[in-house]
Amino acid sequence: MFDRSYLLPTLFAALVHALVLVVISGVWIGQEVDRKAQPRHIEARMVDLSALAEKKAAEEKLMRDKAAAEAAKKKAAEKAKAAEAKRKKAAEAKRKAEAKRAAERKKAEEAKRRKAAEAKKRADAERKAAERKKAEAAKKKADADAKKAKLKAAEEAKKRAEAKRRQAEEAKRKAAEEAKRKAAEEAKRKADAERKAKEQAEAKRREELARQRAAAAERAAQTVADVGAYIRTLTEDNWRLPSTARNGMTATVRIHFFPSGEVDLAEIIKSSGDMAYDRSVLQAIKRVGQYELIASVDPITFERNLRRVLIEFRPEGLRW
């Protein structure tokens, strides 16, 4: 860091050097002008630079001494200022401490006074509360006695009313039970009558259903018989006996029908022992192709009796 004590001497030295330069420049410029104006006359002047330097050094030393003295004076002033500030700070701290102690004393006294006032206030409040409690207890006892008497009277009135209500309810209950018994008897009579009527109706319905089923079964049996005869006749009309057929041969065929009467599948389930004979049987069924009468049969009868049909083929005639 640059020492401030050298600032003034440095500035003074720079000013002296600048002054010397100005003087020298003036001499040179003047000589040049004179040389131009009077070229035949020359004037010279000697300058003692060592004396000038010593003077400059002396001035610089003087400036440094002056700056040092001023710095010392300034430092002493700052030290004195700091001491004064420290003293003021200590005085202020002392003043604050005394003010704090005084405030604490005042606060303690105020708290003590407030505590005493609160204690007195509590004592007064407790005394008043005791008096009020005593008065309330007396009033409460009087109210309780009055309430007890009132409750007793009300209880007796309630008992009388309750006895009267029970009597009325008992009479009402007996009347309701009698009405309920009569209603139950009437309901039982009606239920028995309805049950008998339902039983009779159910018996009639069952008889009618049995009759209908018997008639349906009879119709179905007749239909199956008619359709069977139809199937036998139509198949026999389309059967061409092979030359190898002999009496005693039998081929059993199972035919699967569609509801429309078309043949779904025809298969030999018992062979005659002769391939030509078996083939002639299947060809007869194939020639028919569709047994149209089957389409008029109701679905239930068809599913139960005509979905799959067995036919025996014999040379002396078909057997259902």
State pLDDT tens for residues 50-61: 888 888 899 999
Domain map of the chain by residue range?
Answer: 4-103, 238-319
Per-residue pLDDT, 219: 85
CA separation, residue 250 to residues 175, 236, 246, 254, 311 (Å):
89, 14, 9, 13, 10
Per DSSP, the three-state class of 316 is coil
Per DSSP, the three-state class of 311 is strand
Strand partners, 278: none
Q: Is the dihedral of CA 132, 137, 142, 146 positive or negative?
A: positive
pLDDT > 90: what percent of the chain? 57
Nearest alpha carbon to residue 16 among 60, 47, 74, 75: 60
Task: Note the CATH architecture for domain 238-319.
Answer: 2-Layer Sandwich (3.30)
Q: Is the dihedral of CA 14, 20, 26, 32 positive or negative?
A: negative
Banded pLDDT at 290 (limits 50, 70, 90): very high
Residue 108 has pLDDT above 70, yes or no: yes
Is pTM beyond 0.75? Reply is no
- Tell me how many helices (H) and strands (E) the chain has: 4, 4
Average pLDDT (255-264) is 94
Banded pLDDT at 3 (limits 50, 70, 90): low
Per-residue pLDDT, 7: 74
Q: Determine the distance from the C-alpha atom of residue 270 to the mean position of all C-alpha atoms in its chain, rounded to a whole number.
A: 74
Mean pLDDT of the chain: 87
Within 10 A of 261 (CB to CB), how many other CB atoms are there?
Answer: 21
Q: How far apart are CA 114 and CA 209, in angstroms?
A: 111
